[in-house]
Chain A
Amino acid sequence: MWSFLLRRILLAIPMLLAISFVSFAIMQSVPGGPLAIYRNNPNVRAADLARLEKQLGLDKPMVTQYAIWLRNLATGNWGRSLASGLPVTQMISERIGNTFYLMGTAFILTMLIAIPIGVLSAVKRYSFFDHTATLFSFLGFSVPIFWLGLVAIIVFAVWLRWLPAGGMRTINAEFSFIDRLRYLILPASLMAFHSAAQYSRYVRASMLEVIRQDYITTARAKGQNERNVIYIHALRNALIPLITVVALDLPALFSGALLIETVFAWPGMGRLFWNSATRFDYPVLMGIIITTALLVIACNLIADVLYAFADPRVRLTAGKA
Chain B
Amino acid sequence: MKRGTLSYSTLSSSLEAASFVPENSPARRVWRRFRRHRLAMAGVVLASLIFAMVIFAPVFTPNLPNKQDLKHRLAAPDLAHFMGTDELGRDVFSRVLFGGRISLLIGLSAMAVSVSVGTLIGSISGYFGGRVDTAIMRIIDIIISFPTLFLLIMLASFLGSNIVIVILVIGLLSWMRVARLVRAGFISIKERDFIMAARALGSSSSRMVFGHLLPNSLGPIIVAATIDVSGAILTESALSYLGLGIQPPQATWGNMLRFAQDQMAVAPWTAIFPGLMIFLVSIAINFIGDGLRDAFDPR
Contact = CB atoms under 8 A, between A and B. Distances in A.
Interface residues of A, number: 43
A289 B152 CA distance: 12
Interface residues of B, number: 42
B158 A154 contact: no
A296 interface: yes
A292 B150 contact: yes
Contacts of B274: 147
B142 A19 contact: yes
B153 interface: yes
A139 interface: yes
Contacts of B150: 254-255, 258, 273, 288-289, 292
A151 B268 CA distance: 8
Interface in B275-294: 275-276, 278-279, 282-283, 286-287, 290
Main secondary structure of the interface of B (DSSP, over half): helix
Contacts of A280: 157-158
A138 B287 contact: yes
Interface stretch (B105-113, B189-197, B241-249): B241-249
Contact of B157 (A29, A255, A277, A297): A277
Nearest to B282: A142
**Residue among A139, A277, A288 with the most chain B CB within 10 A?**
A277
Contacts, number: 122
Contacts of A30: 158
Given A154-B264, A274-B242, A26 B155 contact: yes
A68 interface: no
Nearest to A28: B158
A259 to B, nearest CB: 6
Contacts of B260: 150
B164 interface: no
Interface in A267-291: 273-274, 277-278, 280, 285, 288-289
A147 B257 contact: yes
A148 B257 CA distance: 11
Nearest to B233: A144
B154 A297 contact: no
B154 A277 contact: yes
Given A15-B142, A258-B150, A288-B150, A150 B257 contact: yes
A143 B238 contact: no
9 contacts: A23-B151, A138-B283, A142-B230, A144-B279, A147-B237, A147-B274, A147-B279, A251-B144, A288-B150
